Structure formats: structure tokens, C-alpha cells
């Protein structure tokens, strides 16, 4: 595996993961633009990437920078989801029409760093060492941000769930 | 990476396990699998993103190599083009992935599958196998072949469809009658089989000699051409 793969293999192997990360970080409306910017920048820089580099971590790093650019470019602050419709099913696991909205909305409300750390850890499956290099700070701090974020999500989910059951 | 693997990773991190207060462990902590809008990616979306990426890369001069596949009577062929022209045609038996990796090494790793960039080449290959085309009219990039080998390849299209030449004939034709073996290796390493017709070169005794696509493919091509001639 020391030979550099054709770029097509990177798109094939990591395109979906990078899109998930973009959705979690900048929201569905801007995710595809950030994905494009990420892969175009990666294609440009690819000839200089060492053949033994971890391509997924490299792509997520680029996606991270591009998402910051997108936010700085004065687009609306990341708000991954519109409010769920009023008639959203209140029962148990978020309803059939907009499945997942509950969590989606909760992820959107996390502080920026927590949201990013969770996306890089659980959607891109990167180790905290790599995540710390991407977002800055120590691996321990990244781990803490992830568990704080997970705790908030869990609380939000529990609240929504209870509310749903009592409705 | 499926949502399920992510969940199991969570467990390794010790972030799970406390469970949702009073709720079943089946729900997990914050089960990302319950957020399909986050994790599920429609292949159609990726296809569209890929096509847009190829367009932009092309416009910005970043698409060094494009490729596509065509199905033919001699199997699935890989067609590869640089901005200068068709640079490689590969049989399945060569290993399409291996061929692309080698091109990434030798020419550029900026490689994407962009069928549109090879539409004309694919059309001519189709016509050829359908017996409706006698010679290829495509820009070729011979940068994978140097020196004498390239000289040999440049001669080959002069052998008309339906005819064959011996390795010795070709050596004579390119002005180096003693280089019969070198002609053999030029044909054996032809980066553009089918399109540059090395299959029309056979041994002086009429036996086939070798072929990058296998002798069966060489026989098929010569039969097809004999029928069309």
C-alpha cells in the first residue's frame, strides 16, 4: 500500500464519510458546497501528499478548514436543521416522515467544538490524537469535548423521548 | 463506515454504557444510527457530487487523467486519456486497478472516472467491434512508450485491417531489419492495444506470437477483421 492510489479511490472510499462530516458540521444546506471545496482542494494538493499518509484523516482536515471558511465567508451560522414540522410524530423514535430530526436538531445546537469533535470521532471514526491535531488542543480535551457533547445529546434525547411518551 | 461501526467505536471509548436513564440499552446513548439524515448517504447524491467535482476539476485544469470502461466481445476494456489524448487501453487480465495505480505513479495521481471525457473513444471502439469502423481516428498520447518502441507503435496503424505483418516485416519497415526481438517487445508492451493494432503482427511462420490481451483475444480480433475486410 505504499503506492499512491488514483484520486478516484479516495472519492470512492471516503466521499460518503466526508459528506456526513460536512452535514454535521455546517448543516445539510451547505454540506455539498463544502464537500466540493474539500475534494477540489484535495485533488489540487494530492500529488504532494506522502504515499503512506492516512487519506481519510487528511480529507477530514481539509473539510474542517473548508467548513471554517464557509462559516467565515459570512454564511449563516451553522444551523444544521430547520425546526421539525409541527405535526412531527411525538412518539418514541423520531417519526417516519422526518426520521432523525430529533438528533439532527440537537447536534446542531451543540457548541461548535463539541459538534466537530463528535463528527470527527463518530462519523469519520478518527482517533482523538488526530482530532486534536485538527481542532487544536490536547487529545484529552478532545475526548472531554466529545463526552460532554454526547451527554448533552443524551439529555436532549431523553427529554424529547419523555415528552413524547407523556403526550 | 456504517453507523453500526461507529456505535461500537463509541463503546470502546467508554462513552456508552451508562445508557439512557430508564430507557433500554437498545437505544444506545445517542444512537447516531437514529439520525439517518446525518448518516445515510444516497448513492445518487454521491454520483452527482462526483460529476460536479469532475466538471470543476476539468475546468480548473486539475483532471490530469480520465478513464471509463467499455464492454466488448473481448471483455471489459479500460480506456484512459490524458489531456493530450488516449494514453492507455487495458484488458481485464492486466488488472484494471493495477493499471490505474501504475498510471498514478508514472503520470499523475489526479485520476477520476469521467466517462464523458472518453465518449468519442468509446464510440469508435464500439463501432470497431460492430464491424462498422476500419481504423481509429483519435488523438493518442504515446508518452508511455519511448524510443524504438514508440517508432514501432507509430508504424502499426499502417497495417490495414484484414492484413497482418510478421515481426520481421515490421522491423524492416521501421528501418531496423535486425531488431525483430525489439519489435516483439514493442508489441508486447503496447499501451494502446486494439486501437494501435499490434494484434496484426504475427510470426513469420504464421503462428500468432504473443498478445497482451491473451491469444484468445488476438484470435478474436483477427477473425473479426478478416470478416470485416
B155-168 per-position pLDDT tens digit? 999 999 999 999 99
Task: State whether B19 and B49 are in the same domain.
Answer: no
Residues composing chain A: 167
How close, in Å, is residue B141 to chain A by CA atoms? 19
Check which CATH number belongs to the domain holding B158 and give it.
Answer: 1.10.10.10
Residue B33 has pLDDT above 70, yes or no: no
| DSSP secondary structure code for residue B165 in this structure | E
Among B65, B198, B202, B221, the active-site one is B198
Q: ipTM of the predicted structure?
A: 0.83
Residue A66: CB atoms within 10 A of its CB come to 24
Q: Is position B141 within any domain?
A: no
Do B117 and B179 sit in the same domain of this protein?
no
Residue A29 confidence (pLDDT) above 70: yes
> Do residues B57 and B8 both lie within one domain?
no
The partner residue sitting opposite B38, judged by closest CB among A107, A150, A161, is A107
Residues A142-160 have pLDDT tens digits of 999 999 998 888 887 777 7
Closest-CA residue of A relative to B44 is A16
Residue B16 lies in a domain: yes
pLDDT in tens, A70-128: 877 765 554 555 444 433 333 333 333 344 455 667 777 889 899 999 999 988 889 99
Contact assessment for residue A141 and residue A156, using Cβ atoms and an 8 Å cutoff: no
Q: For cell 455546517, what's the residue? A: A26
Burial of A41 (0-12, 13-18, 19+ CB in 10 A): middle
Q: Which of B1, B4, B113, B117 to mutate to test the interface with A (most CBs of A within 10 A)?
A: B1
Grid coordinates representing A137?
Answer: 488542543
Would B99 be classed as within a structural domain? yes
Q: By CA distance, what is B58's nearest residue in A?
A: A40
With CB atoms and an 8 Å threshold, state whether B49 touches A153. Answer: no
The answer to whether B187 is a known catalytic residue is no
pLDDT at B18 over 70: no
Q: What is the pLDDT of residues B34-84, one digit of tens each?
A: 566 667 788 899 999 999 999 999 999 999 999 999 999 999 999 999 999
The secondary structure of residue A136, as a DSSP letter, is -
Does residue B142 sit within a domain? no
Whether B34 maps to a domain, the answer reads yes
pLDDT at B192: 98
Parent domain of B220: 147-228
pLDDT the model gives residue A123? 86
Number of domains in chain B: 3
pLDDT the model gives residue A71: 78
Point out which residues pair with B81 in neighbouring strands. Answer: B66, B86
Judge whether B114 and B66 are in contact, CB under 8 Å.
yes
Residues of A with CB below 8 A from B62's CB? Answer: 40, 43-44
> How many of the other CB atoms lie within 10 Å of CB of A102?
26
Burial grade of B98 (CB within 10 A; 0-12, 13-18, 19 or more): exposed
Instruction: Report the gap between the CA of B145 and the closest CA in chain A (Å).
Output: 21
Same domain, B173 and B224: yes
In a domain? residue B140: no
What is the reported pLDDT for B17?
A: 35
* pLDDT at site A108: 79
- Statement: residue B92 has pLDDT above 90: yes
pTM of the predicted protein model: 0.81
From the number of C-beta atoms within 10 Å of its C-beta (0-12, 13-18, 19+), residue B126 rates as middle
Q: What is the pLDDT of residue B204?
A: 87
At residue A107, the pLDDT reads 79
pLDDT of residue A27: 83
Strand segments, DSSP code E, in B114-199 are 165-166
Q: Which of A39-48, B1-10, B88-97 has the lowest mean pLDDT?
A: B1-10
Structure confidence at residue A164 (pLDDT):
54
Measured in degrees and rounded to the nearest 5, phi and psi for residue B6 equal: -65, -40
Q: What is the pLDDT of residue B161?
A: 95
From A21, which residue of chain B is nearest by alpha-carbon distance?
A: B38
Contacts of A99 in chain B (CB under 8 A): 34, 36-37
Q: In what order do the strands lie in the sheet with B86-90?
A: B86-90, B75-81, B65-72, B111-113
User: What is the average pLDDT value for chain B, to the nearest integer?
Assistant: 86
Give the CATH number, domain containing residue B91: 3.30.160
| Percent of chain B whose predicted confidence (pLDDT) is above 70 | 83
Task: Please name the residue ranges forming H helices in chain A.
Answer: 7-26, 28-45, 55-72, 101-109, 112-118, 128-135, 139-166
The pLDDT of residue B74: 96
Q: Where are the domains of chain A?
A: 7-82+90-166
pLDDT at B35: 63
Integer Cα distance of B210 and B186 in angstroms: 11
The mean predicted confidence, pLDDT, of chain A is 81
> How far B192 CA lies from chain A's nearest CA (Å)?
20
Amino acid at each position: 500500500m505504499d503506492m499512491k492510489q488514483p484520486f478516484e479511490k479516495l472519492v470512492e472510499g471516503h466521499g460518503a464519510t466526508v459528506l456526513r462530516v460536512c452535514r454535521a458540521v455546517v448543516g445539510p444546506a451547505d454540506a455539498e458546497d463544502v464537500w466540493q471545496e474539500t475534494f477540489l482542494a484535495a485533488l489540487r494538493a494530492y500529488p504532494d501528499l506522502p504515499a503512506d499518509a492516512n487519506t481519510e484523516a487528511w480529507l477530514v482536515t481539509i473539510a474542517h478548514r473548508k467548513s471554517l471558511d464557509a462559516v467565515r465567508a459570512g454564511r449563516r451560522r451553522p444551523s444544521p436543521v430547520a425546526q421539525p414540522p409541527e405535526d412531527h410524530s411525538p412518539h418514541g423514535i423520531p417519526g417516519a416522515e422526518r426520521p432523525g430530526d430529533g438528533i439532527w436538531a440537537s447536534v446542531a445546537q451543540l457548541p461548535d467544538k463539541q459538534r466537530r469533535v463528535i463528527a470527527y470521532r463518530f462519523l469519520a471514526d478518527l482517533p482523538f490524537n488526530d482530532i486534536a491535531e485538527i481542532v487544536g488542543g490536547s487529545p484529552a480535551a478532545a475526548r472531554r469535548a466529545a463526552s460532554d457533547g454526547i451527554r448533552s445529546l443524551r439529555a436532549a434525547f431523553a427529554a424529547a423521548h419523555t415528552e413524547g411518551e407523556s403526550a | 463506515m456504517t453507523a453500526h461501526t461507529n456505535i461500537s467505536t463509541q463503546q470502546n471509548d467508554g462513552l456508552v454504557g451508562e445508557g439512557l436513564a430508564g430507557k433500554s440499552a437498545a437505544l444506545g446513548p445517542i444512537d447516531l444510527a437514529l439520525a439517518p439524515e446525518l448518516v445515510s448517504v444516497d448513492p445518487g447524491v454521491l454520483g452527482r457530487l462526483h460529476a460536479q467535482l469532475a466538471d470543476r476539476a476539468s475546468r480548473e485544469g486539475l483532471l490530469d487523467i480520465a478513464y471509463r470502461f467499455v464492454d466488448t466481445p473481448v471483455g471489459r476494456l479500460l480506456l484512459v486519456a490524458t489531456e493530450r489524448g488516449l494514453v492507455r487501453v487495458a484488458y481485464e487480465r492486466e488488472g484494471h486497478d493495477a493499471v490505474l495505480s501504475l498510471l498514478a505513479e508514472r503520470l499523475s495521481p489526479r485520476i477520476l472516472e469521467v466517462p464523458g471525457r472518453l465518449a468519442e473513444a468509446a464510440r469508435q471502439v464500439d463501432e470497431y467491434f460492430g464491424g462498422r469502423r476500419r481504423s481509429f481516428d483519435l488523438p493518442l498520447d504515446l508518452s508511455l512508450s519511448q524510443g524504438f518502441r514508440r517508432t514501432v507503435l507509430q508504424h502499426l496503424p499502417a497495417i490495414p485491417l484484414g492484413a497482418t505483418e510478421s515481426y520481421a516485416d515490421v522491423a524492416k519497415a521501421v528501418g531496423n531489419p535486425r531488431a525483430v526481438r525489439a519489435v516483439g517487445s514493442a508489441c508486447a508492451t503496447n499501451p494502446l492495444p486494439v486501437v494501435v493494432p499490434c494484434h496484426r503482427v504475427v510470426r513469420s511462420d504464421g503462428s500468432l506470437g504473443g498478445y497482451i490481451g491473451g491469444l484468445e483475444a488476438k484470435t478474436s480480433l483477427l477473425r473479426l477483421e478478416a470478416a470485416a475486410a
